[in-house]
Each structure stands twice: as C-alpha cells, then as structure tokens.
Structure 1
Amino acid sequence: MLRRGRPGLIGMAARTAVVAGTATAVSGNVQRRQQARANEQYQQEAYEAQAQQDAMDAAAARAVANAAPPAPPAPAAPADDVTSKLTQLASLHSQGILSDAEFASAKAKLLS
C-alpha cells in the first residue's frame, strides 16, 4: 500500500533528524572557520608586535652605541691636594723659609 499526502510519524522524525544534523554540521563548520580566522589574526598581530619590539630594541641599541662616551671622572684630589700643600708649607716653615706669620697666612688661605 502506497501512501500519498502527508508523511507519517517516522517520516517526520527522519526529516527533522536530517534538518537538525545538517544545521549542526553547518554550525560546526562556521564555528571552526571563525576560530581559524581568529587564530590567524592573533598570530599576525603577535608577529607584528614582535617585529615592532625588535625595531625598538635595535633603535635603542643604536642610540646607546652612538651616545657620547661618559665624561672622565673629576679628580678627587682636592682633599689630597690641600693636605699635600699643608705638608709642604709645614716643611718650609720647619726649615725656616717661612716665618710664623707667613705660615699662618698661607695655611688660612688653603683652608678657606
């Protein structure tokens, strides 16, 4: 017996299963494609960020290489210089070359 017209319960269930399966497959494909595009975009952005960082590092290295050399340290001898001059004045005073007044005046100049 051949039925014509509306499908029966099993036919409706089969049709619904086919439609649902197709919808699930299409949805899964769309989702995978979107995920692949998002991953590709992320990789491209990461590559560009790394390239930019490398360029900034290279520029900083060039700036450091082209920088003027540091100034030589200032002589730290003023305290030693005063000490040596006072020693020299004391030696001259003890030898009698400088009088007490001259020694006191020269020493006051050095210490001021």
Structure 2
Amino acid sequence: MPFVGRIGRPGLIGLAARTAVVAGTASAVSGGMAARRERNAEQQSQQQQYEAQQQQAQVDAAAQQAVAAQTAQQQAAQQQAQPAAGGGITDELQRLAGLHQQGILTDEEFAAAKQKLLGL
C-alpha cells in the first residue's frame, strides 16, 4: 500500500520549519536592505565630499586669479605712476616757468607754486 501523506494542517515540525524559513528569509531581506541603505548612504557621502572638494578648488582658483589680477593691476599702476611723476613734475615746472615768463605769475606766485609742486 502506498503511503498517503497527511492532508490538512502541517504538523509541529512542519510548522516550525516553515516559520524558520520565513524568519530566515525576512532576516536576509532585512539585512540586505540595511546593507544597501548603508552603501547608498556611503556613496552619497562620498559624492558630497567630492562636490565640496570641487567647489573649494574653484574658490581657490578664483581667489588666486583675483590676487594675480590685483597684483598685476598694482604693478601697472606703479609703472604708470613712476614715469608720470618724473615727467609730470618737469612738465609742470616748465609750464609754471612759461607762465612766469609771460608775466601771468608773479615771482611770489611762481615760487609758491614751485615749492608746492616739489613738496617743500
């Protein structure tokens, strides 16, 4: 006679086995999901750090460009001021002398303007 299995509800061992399988599967799925969330959070953190580094590099580059531009501007201003100062004083003295010779400036006015120009 062939064996006829139980029909109906499973026995205690079958119920325990089914519960263990369900619990194991749930635990594995839960652990897998937690690991995935952890990996995603780590990747997001790394991405944010990378973006912050890129922004800092851009800020540093802009600051260096601004400093270089300012330095170049100051050097250009100094170069322009040096020749202008030497030539400007001479030109101004010649102009004042011309006005003095034409009689537009008196001796006192010419002397005062010359002292003022030379910073005396």
> Is TM-score (shorter-chain normalized) higher than 0.5?
yes
Cα distance in structure 2, aligned partners of 1:13 and 1:59: 68
For each residue in 1:21-55, what CA deviation from the matched residue of structure 2 results, as whole angstroms up to 9, or x when unmatched? 00001111111111111111111111110000000
Match of 2:74 in 1: 69
Cα distance in structure 2, aligned partners of 1:42 and 1:3: 56
Among 20, 42, 45, the residue aligned to 2:45: 42
1:13 deviates by 0.4
Q: CA RMSD in A?
A: 1.9
TM-score (norm 2): 0.55
Among 1, 13, 17, the residue aligned to 2:16: 13
Cα distance in structure 2, aligned partners of 1:45 and 1:23: 33
Match of 1:32 in 2: 35
- Give the SS at the match of 1:4: coil
- Percent identity, aligned pairs only? 58
TM-score (norm 1): 0.59
The higher relative CO (CA closer than 8 Å, separation ≥ 6) is in 1
Gaps (5+ residues) in structure 2?
Answer: 79-120
Gaps (5+ residues) in structure 1?
Answer: 73-112
Q: Identify, as 1 or 2, the structure richer in helix.
A: 2
Provide runs of 4+ in structure 1 moved above 2 Å: 68-72
For each residue in 1:64-103, what CA deviation from the matched residue of structure 2 results, as whole angstroms up to 9, or x when unmatched? 111133788xxxxxxxxxxxxxxxxxxxxxxxxxxxxxxx
- Give the SS at the match of 2:74: coil
